[in-house]
Structure 1
Amino acid sequence: MAHTVNIVNAFVDGEKGGNPAGVVLRADGLTAADKLRIAQLVGLSETAFVSASRVADVKLDFFTPTRQIAHCGHATIATFGLLAQRGIISRANASKETIDGTRQIMLRGQSAYMEQLAPTYFDEDAFSAGITTDRILASLDIKRDAIVAAPCVVATGNRFLLVHVRSGAVLAGLKPDMKEVGLIGEALGVVGYYVFTTEVEGFAATTRMFAPHYGIDEEAATGMAAGPLACYLHDRLGMRIPAFLIQQGAFMREPSPSRITVELNIREGKIANLFAGGNAKVVSSINIVL
């Protein structure tokens, strides 16, 4: 049986850039093994599978080429952008069901914004045995003088390791040892490294994301990582603003600059939750026969 996979670029900057995701509509009859196989054949960092839900507008399952993942930012934005453009969902307030519960989705024209939870922070003293700042920096081929602060794990649904480097030059010159990055990522229980600098014009930060143990060496936009970063910028770096514009993908080998907006919901001085989102652009579709 043939299955149509829509290829949708999420977090596009104008009409360019963004991160492509596969989106399969009417996926109710597919098994987990089917979904993994389709994700492998599509070959993108994530593919989203849309099926019926009794508790939300749709149920979404996300698969990388190697495994299922609880949440995926760019594939969520890609999916709801596609659903909005096709008129399948038209109201401003929507929702998704995932293996980790339900989340709110806001639609604004062709843009979609997904809910993430209040942040939880884990510093080096909470890392797994054998995982140190020096080992993390060595996996990126940088020294301590290249960073502003020790790496920190932040979770708003998915966990990411944030590494704050001093400049765009450092970010551009990273040489990640993907095997070591993968081992450290698995030990820390994170999706990947989110390396960033605030030394950039027009954005709160510019970033790179590495997740080789999920089959993703590097990707152009990671909405589930931009959320933790915005929380870190607010709570740890004192950027007391309600919304952050995050750039990603500009320093990839083949640049694909992406634009991610993160809006924080502050209650009594603390982040209660947040919405990360942006624009989506449908670029093509392919048919896959299992």
Structure 2
Amino acid sequence: MEQRVHIVDAFARDGGGGNPAGVVLQADRLNSAQKLAIAARVGLSETAFVSRSEIATVKLEFFTPSRQIAHCGHATIAAFGYLQQTGAVEGELLTKETIDGIRRVAIRGGRPFMEQLAPTYTEALAFPPAAGVDRIVGSLGIDSGWLATQPVVCSTGNRFLIVHLDREARLAQLAPDQDAIAAVSEALDLIGYYVFAESGGEVAASARMFAPRYGIPEEPATGMAAGPLACYLYDRLGLRRHAFLIGQGAYMQPPSPSRIMVDLQLAQHRIASLYVGGEARLRRTLAVEIAP
């Protein structure tokens, strides 16, 4: 059986870069085993499967090459970007049905923005010994003196370890040990690490993301991690504004520079929710053969 898969770059910057995701339309006829097989054949970090929904604009399911996951930021942006650009959905306030509930998606200036929850934090003092700060810095191949603040786990729907470095040049000098990162991620129940440094100018911070626990050594744009980082910048570093630009992908090999926009929804100066979005650009469409 042949299945068409649209490869869409999410969080593209200046018409290039971004993080590619597979988008499969009319996925109602596919079972879970077929979806997993398609995701494995496509070989990207995530593929989004779009089906009809009776309770939301569409139903979205996300598969890595090895498993199904509840949410994926860049695949959400890719899917809704493609649907909006092809006229398959209309309006400025849309919704997605996922395996753990409904989330809102807003279209702003032609760009999709996905809703995330208010942040929760877990401090380094609460980490188990298998995920102590010494294990974290060792897994990145860095010295503890590179840390600007203590690592913290932040979640706006998915758990990420936020690692704050003292300057941006350090991002190019990381020597990640993927097995060690996976072990710490398992101990803390993380999607992965989001390692960042503050940037000057329009971009508030530049970051790298490592998620070997989910089969992703590194990816160029991670919407579900950029949200927690923006919350961290607001809550912990005192950057009192509601909109942030996060750069990612510039320091990976090969580079794929990405631009992630985060809009915090504040109530009495506290983060009530947030939206994360950016550009989506169709790269190509391919045909994948799977067993019927």
Q: Equivalent residues in 2 for 1:213-224 (5 A)? A: 213-224=213-224
Structure 1 residue 200: Cα displacement: 3.8
Could you tell me whether the CA contact under 8 Å between 1:221 and 1:248 is conserved in 2? yes
Q: Structure 2: how far apart are the matches of 1:195 and 1:201?
A: 19
One-letter code aligned to 1:97: E
Q: Which residue of 1 aligns with 2:165?
A: 165
TM-score with structure 1 length normalisation? Answer: 0.98
Tell me the amino acid that sits aligned with residue 253 of structure 1: Q
Q: What residue is the counterpart of 1:135 in the other structure?
A: 135
Shift of 1:129: 4.1
Find the counterpart in structure 1 of residue 105 from structure 2: 105
Count of aligned positions: 290
- 1:153 corresponding residue in structure 2: 153
1:168 and 1:200 in contact (8 A); partners too: no
The amino acid across from 2:227 in the alignment is G
Residues 262 and 277, structure 1, Cα contact 8 Å, conserved in 2: yes
Query: 1:207 touches 1:247 (CA, 8 Å); kept in 2?
Result: yes
Q: Provide the rounded CA distance (Å) in 2 between the counterparts of 1:220 and 1:172.
A: 14
1:1-290 aligned at under 5 Å gives the runs: 1-290=1-290
TM-score, with normalisation over the residues of structure 2?
0.97
Q: 1:4 is aligned with what amino acid? A: R
Please tell me the residue identity of whatever aligns with 1:62. F
More deviation in 31-40 or 115-124? Answer: 31-40
Larger mean CA deviation between 125-134 and 163-172 belongs to 125-134
How far does the alpha carbon of each residue in 1:225-245 deviate from its partner, in whole angstroms, 9 at most, with x for none?
000000000000000001000
Q: Give the deviation of 1:272 after TM superposition.
A: 0.4
Checking the alignment, whether the CA contact within 8 Å between 1:166 and 1:199 is kept in structure 2 is: no
Query: How big is the shift at 1:202?
Result: 2.5
What is the distance in 2 between the residues matched to 1:127 and 1:3?
44
Shift of the alpha carbon at 1:86? 0.7
- Partner of 1:213, secondary structure, is helix
Deviation digits for residues 237-257 of structure 1 (CA, Å, limit 9, x no counterpart): 000001000000010111111
Residues 1:128 and 1:55: Cα distance change in structure 2 (over 3 Å): farther
User: Mean alpha-carbon deviation: is it higher for 105-114 or for 55-64?
Assistant: 105-114
SS in 2 for 1:11: strand
Between the aligned partners of 2:115 and 2:193, the Cα distance in structure 1 is: 21
Residues 137 and 144 in structure 2, CA contact (< 8 A), matched pair in contact too: yes
TM-superposition CA deviations, 1:131-189 (whole Å, max 9, x none)? 10110000000111101111111000111011001122211110100011111112211
CA contact (8 A) 2:12 2:281 kept: yes
Question: 1:109, CA displacement in angstroms?
Answer: 4.2
Deviation of 1:115 after TM superposition, in Å, equals: 0.1
SS in 1 for 2:278: strand
Displacement of 1:56 after TM fit? 0.5
Q: C-alpha deviations, 1:172-219, integer Å up to 9, x for none?
A: 110100011111112211111000000343311000000011111100
Q: Shift of the alpha carbon at 1:67?
A: 1.4
- % identical equivalent positions: 55
Q: 1:109 and 1:264 mapped to 2: Cα distance?
A: 17
The answer as to whether partners of 2:130 and 2:184 remain within 8 angstroms in 1 is: no
Distance 1:129 1:36 in 2: 35
1:16 positional shift = 1.1
Once the 2 structures are TM-superposed, how far is the Cα of residue 110 of structure 1 from its aligned partner? 2.9
Q: C-alpha distance in 1, partners of 2:200/2:29?
A: 46
